[in-house]
Amino acid sequence: MSSFNSAELGPAIVVSVKATGLAVAQIVVTCLAGFVLGRIGFLDKKAQKFLNNMNLKLFTPALVFSKIALTLSPEKLVNIAVVPLGFVLFTAVSAGIAGLTACAFRLRPGKRRFVICCSMAVNSNSLPIALIQSLSTAVPALKWTPDDTPNAMLARGISYLVLYSTLGLVWRWSFMVTYLEKADTLEATPSLDAEHGAGTPSASSEEALSIEKPSGDPASEGGTPGAKEGGTQQPPHTAPEGRAQRWRRLWRTISQFLTPPTYAAILSIFIAAITPLQNVVARATPITGAIDSMADIAVPMTLVVLGAYFVPEKTPQKTGDVSAASSTVELTTTPLDDSEANRTVLASVLARMILTPVVLYPFLLILAVFTPFKIFHDPIFILAMCLLIGGPTAVTMAQLTSAASASFERLVSRVIFWSYIVCLTPLTIAGTLVAILITMIPSRA
C-alpha cells in the first residue's frame, strides 16, 4: 500500500476517474455491439447459449491459465487463502442488508427471497476482470511495488476473482436455487391454483431443478434395494455397494460445480506452486502462445453476449416491461402488482449496489489499515473487493430464476436492466475511487 501524499491525491483521482470512465465506456461499447447483433437477429438466444458454452469451455479457461500459471508464485498463492473468508462475510452481510431492505419496503415473503438472492449473486466474472484488465495499465496507483507489472497485477486480480466466482457458483446452484424455488411456492395464490391447477407451477420448477441437480433426491438411490430386503437380513456383501453408490452420488454432486474454468484454475495453481514445473511450461512457447491468443477472446465475447441478453424476445408482453422471458411465463405466473414489482426492483438494486457498499467499504478500509495481512496491502485486491462489493447483480440470476422460479423472470430482467444500464457507470467510478483512496492510506499494522 502506497503512502498517503495529499499533493498526489488530486492527480491520482483525476487519472482514476478518467481511466475508469474509459474502461466502462469500452465495456458499454462492446456490449452495445452485442445488443445490435441481437437486435438484428444474429445473436438470438440459441446463439447466445452456444457462444456462452464455447467461452466457458475454451476461452475462459485459457484466460485463467494464461494469467495464473506463469505469473503467480508460491508466495503469492498463500495470500489467496483469505478470499473464502471474505466470501462468507460478504454473502452474509449482503443477505442481511437485503432482508432488512425488503422488510422496509413491505414486500411479501416470496419477493423478499428474490431481493436477498439478487443481493448475494454479484457479477464476479466479466465486469471485474474487464475493469481490472483496463485499469492495471492505466492507473499507476494500483501498483503494489515499484516494479509491479500490468500482467502481474492482472494475474493477481484474476486469481482473486476466479476463486470468489467458484465459491459463488457453488453457493448459487446449491442453496440459492432451492431458496428461490421455495419463494415460488410463497408467491402462489388461490386464483392461480384454481385456474391452472395447484401442482403446475411447482412441477415445472421441480423439473427444471432436477436438470440442474440430478442427485437432489437421496432416497432415489442406494437405500431402496436395501429397504426391500428388510432390516438386518441384508447380506453383508451389499454394504460396500451402498458405500460405492454414496461416493458416486457425492462425486456427481461435486462435479456439477467443477466447471472448465475451475479445472483451469486448479491446474494453473498447481503449476504456479511448483517453480521448476512452471519454468518447463514457460518454455513451451507454441502452447503458451496459442493459449494467450485464445485468452484474448474471453472477455470481449463475454461482453458481446451480455449486450445481446438485453434484447427482448419477440413475444407478446405488456408495455413497459423490460424482459427476456418467454410467453410461457405468462401461463405459470400471476399478474405482477405494478406497485410491488417496482418496490421489489428498487429494493434489489438499492441493497446490492448502494447499501451493501455503504456498510462494507468502511469495513474494508479498517482491514486494509489495521490488519497485518499482506493481501490487504495489494491495491489490486482492494480494487477487486470494491468492484465485488458494489457490483451489479449477476446475469446468471436469470438462469437461477428460470430453473427454480419462473414467476420471477420478468422481475430479474428489470433488475438487470436498471443495474447495468442506469447504475453501473457512476457507481463503478465511485467504487474505483474508494479503492484508490484506501490504497493511499498507509497501514498502521
Q: Can you give the pLDDT of all 445 residues of the chain as single tens digits?
A: 555 455 556 666 777 777 778 878 888 898 899 999 999 999 988 998 899 889 888 998 898 888 788 877 787 777 788 899 999 999 999 999 999 999 999 999 989 999 999 999 999 877 888 888 888 888 888 888 888 888 889 888 988 998 898 788 778 877 887 888 777 666 654 444 434 444 433 333 333 333 334 343 333 333 433 444 444 445 555 455 577 787 888 777 777 667 788 788 889 889 988 989 999 999 999 999 999 999 889 888 888 988 888 887 765 544 444 444 443 333 344 444 688 889 999 999 999 999 999 999 999 999 999 988 888 999 999 999 999 999 999 887 877 776 665 668 778 888 988 998 889 889 998 998 999 889 888 877 6
**Model pLDDT, residue 242:** 74
232 inside domain = no
pTM above 0.95?
no
- Rounded Cα distance between 185 and 110, Å, is 8
234 inside domain = no
- Rounded Cα distance between 60 and 57, Å, is 7
- Rounded Cα distance between 162 and 270, Å, is 15
Domain interval for residue 106: 6-215+244-439
225 inside domain = no
What's the structural domain count of the chain?
A: 1
230 inside domain = no
221 inside domain = no
1 inside domain = no
**Model pLDDT, residue 136:** 84
**Model pLDDT, residue 392:** 93
Q: Say which CATH number the domain at 11 has.
A: 1.20.1530
231 inside domain = no
445 inside domain = no
